[in-house]
Structure formats: structure tokens, C-alpha cells
Amino acid sequence: MFWDSPKWVPVQVYFLPATQKKYGSALNEIMSRHKRLFPKFECIDPKEIKFKDLYVEGEVVDCWGCVWKNLHGGLVGKVTVHPLGDWANFEDWKKKIPDPEVKGLLGPRNWEELREQIKFKEKMGLISPDYALPHGFHFMLMWDLRGFENFMLDMLTDEPNLNELMEILINYNRYCVVKTLDLGTRFLGLAEDLGMQNSLPISKDLWDKYVKPGYKATMGIAKERGVPVFFHSDGYIIPLISDLIELGVTLLNPQSGANGVENLREVALRRVALCIDIDRQILPYASNEGIKSHIDQIFKHLYLPEGGLMLSIEINEDVPLETMDYLFSIVEDYCSLPSPEDTNFSSVGFG
């Protein structure tokens, strides 16, 4: 993301908790065969895996009063009880607004732990995003609180209560971001899903009115302080990328399938560094030829010798082991990943 002509294209790989539980030690075997991609890794013991936070099966209530229901442990469920589904609850709800100094999404805040994490990474020369806020911190949180249809109608009718709610969330989020910056983060991370499969869920005008202010109050502050920002969003976000760049995104993590690599080339190449999501929707059934073609298209349209490209691979439990094995081989070669000995077995992606 610093456009300093890196020797290889960085890669991050994430096995969802459900995937770790399903495959267990078989993942260890695959990782051991791909030392260039996994120069060092902690062995997975399926007996030791205990789902936590939003990955637990059953119901969890967050600090905003949203009730999350999950039918399948190891994956994230969805909000099924919206505390502001009726605006009549608004006044009572405001009495329980969480204090950002002490309350996180699912438990107490530990700012001291974050401070130590930031110090450790700086000491070790590692760089990875520090997340001040959970996934779905503004746009998604408003629809979780109101319910999706209610939220859509609120924006269309310019509901006054929605404007007040938005300010409440902005104040909470701004506090958390400023605190994280004050603790010395060198790289701020933010994440929420702004797009659908092939369109935005709302018009660009509504996005400018109800979503953009929340981003000015978060990534915008990081930009003012000269701190790079990593931002993840699932779904189609092509019409928003120019705004996200303007607001302060340094490394953007879009989905390759929903947005299309040619579209991303047109709107983002040389304007912002891209951490491209390998298309998760094809991985359960893709042939080896299909996988190679997909990676080839990404490099054909988005690779530049001076930098600006990174790969992100999220592995769900529906991806066959053989597919993982082949994908990792292709990625190691395309990304010119070095042998572990050449990097002293250090991480070659995010720290």
C-alpha cells in the first residue's frame, strides 16, 4: 500500500471457525505443504476449538440491544430482534446507550490490551490494522437497530428520529476511533458491508446523506492525522470507491466477484491499494482451471510492479481440501512468495 515496489504480492488467509472445526488437522497438513504461504502457523486442534462471540450457536445480545440468532456455530448469524423496530422504544433505548470508554459490542472494553498490542507490533516491525470498531459499525448497525425495511423507509421519508440515531452512533464511533489513534495505531481498520450482489442497496444520494457522515467521523479523522486506513466491504461498491478514497481509505478490500476485476481496474487502479477478496462464491465448486483463470484475471488487470495489490483468501467450510491445496499453490507462484528461509520464517502478509 506504500507503492514501494515490493518483491512479492502480500497474501492473507483466514479459515472460518466452522472450517477449522470441520477439517481440523487436515488444514495443518495443507499449511505444512505451503510453507511459502504459511511460513509459520499455529496447529489447529479441532478438540480445542470453542466458538465465541457472534460465532456461537444460539442467541447473543450486543451492547446496542440487538439480538443475534445463529443456527450454525462457527459462522456468524443475523440480528432477529431489532430494539428500535418501533420508534416508540426510542426514548427508553436512549437511556441505555453504551459508553464507548467501557463497553464494546459483546463485553467490556480493554483499551490497555489494545495499547500493548499496538506497542508490540511496532516493536516487532509488524503492520496490520487495529480495529476500533466491530464489523458493521454504522450503516449496518442502523439497519440492525431498526430492521432493514424500516430503515429503508426511514431514509426515504427523512425520518427525524433516524437523524438523531445516526448522531448517537457517530459520537460513539468517533470516540473509539480517536481513542485508537491516541493509543498510537499506525494502521486503522474498519469494516462493514455496503453493497449487494450487483448493486447498492440504496441510491448514491441516500448514501451521501446517511452513510458518508459516519465515515467522515471515522476514517476521515485517521486521514487528518496521516494514518493509513484499511477498509473492508462485501458486495458491489463500484459507485462508492471514489468517495472512499476521498474519505481516507489507503487499502481497500473489495470482493472480486461482486465488483468485477475490470470494473475495479477502471475506478481504482493506481488510485488506491487493493486487497482483493478471492471470489468465495466460486470456491466450493470451481475447477482447477477455473481457479487459475480467476487468479490470472486479477493479476492481468490489477497487478503493478510498483505495488498496490494484495490478496485476501477466506475459506468457508464448503471449500474442498483439494481446492484449497491447488489455490494455495497457484497463489504462491503468482504472488512470487519467497521461501521461508529468505524471510527468516516471518509473516509475508499482514503481521
pLDDT tens profile 8-35: 999 999 999 999 999 999 999 999 999 9
Domain membership of residue 154 as a residue range = 11-50+108-343
- In one-letter notation, the amino acid at residue 317 is E
Name the one residue in this structure whose C-alpha cell is 490470472: 296
Residue 70 β-bridge partners = 58
Q: Which residues of 211-228 are buried (b: 16+ CB within 10 A; e: fewer)?
A: bbbbbbbbbbbbbeeebb
**What integer pLDDT is reported at residue 349 of this predicted model?**
55
C-alpha R_g of the chain: 21
Determine, yes or no, domain membership for 74: no
- The predicted-structure confidence for 101-112, as pLDDT tens digits, reads as follows 999 999 999 999
How confident is the model over 249-297, as pLDDT tens digits? 999 999 999 999 999 999 999 999 999 999 999 999 999 999 999 999 9
3 found inside a domain: no
Q: For residue 262, tell me if it sits in a domain.
A: yes
Residue 5 CA to residue 271 CA, distance in Å, equals 16
Q: Is residue 55 part of a domain?
A: no
Residue 68 in any domain: the answer is: no
pTM: predicted TM-score of the whole model, two decimal places: 0.96
Residue 56 in any domain: the answer is no
- 133-189 confidence digits (pLDDT tens): 999 999 999 999 999 999 999 999 999 999 999 999 999 999 999 999 999 999 999
Count structural domains, the chain: 1
Mean pLDDT of the chain, nearest integer:
95
Instruction: With respect to residue 75, please indicate whether it lies within any of the assigned structural domains.
Output: no
Residue 4 lies in a domain: no
Domain of 308, CATH number, reads 3.20.20.210
Of residues 277, 280, 317, 283, the one with CA closest to residue 298: 277
Q: Rounded to an integer, what distance in angstroms lies between the CA atom of residue 107 and that of residue 111?
A: 12
Confidence band, pLDDT 50/70/90 cuts, at residue 341:
confident
- 345: pLDDT confidence band, cut at 50, 70 and 90? low
Over range 192-216, report the average pLDDT. Answer: 97
Cell of 98: 453504551
pLDDT in tens, 30-85: 999 999 999 988 899 888 899 999 999 999 999 999 999 999 999 999 999 999 99
Question: What is the torsion angle, in degrees rounded to the nearest 10, for the CA atoms of residue 196, residue 199, residue 205 and residue 207?
Answer: 20
Rounded-to-integer distance, Cα 234 and Cα 72, Å: 21
What's the confidence (pLDDT) of residue 279?
A: 97
